[in-house]
Amino acid sequence: MEYTIIRVYRVVASSQYEATDRLMEAFDLGVDRDYYVKDIVKGPTDVRTAATRPMSWWALARRQILGH
């Protein structure tokens, strides 16, 4: 079985770049726990199915008319 684990951090900053820099600095200094919020674990039941290409309107109409 395969699980997905997501770590959530909350960083106060004026831009996305500043937030990224602050979090990377916290990782370097070993104080990333100051920004840590929670872990999210997704189990094997959260598996996504493969996306299929949607049917065109013409193919839908032909299917309804011909009954296939």
Ranges of each domain in the chain? 1-47
Residue 45: per-residue pLDDT: 74
10 Å CB burial of residue 65 (0-12, 13-18, 19+) is exposed
Asked if residue 24 has pLDDT above 70, the reply is yes
Residue 31's closest CA among 9, 13, 16, 12?
Answer: 9
| Structure confidence at residue 55 as a pLDDT band (50, 70, 90) | confident
**What pTM, to 2 d.p., does this model score?**
0.57
| Block residue for tokens 């990333």 | 32
Q: How confident is the model at residue 25 (pLDDT cuts 50, 70, 90)?
A: very high
Residue 22: other Cβ atoms inside 10 A: 15
Q: What distance in Å separates the CA atoms of residue 64 and residue 57, rounded to the nearest whole number?
A: 11
Task: Give residue-wise pLDDT tens across range 8-19.
Answer: 999 999 999 999
Q: Could you tell me where the DSSP H helices lie in the chain?
A: 16-29, 57-66
Provide the pLDDT confidence category of residue 43 given band limits of 50, 70 and 90.
Answer: confident
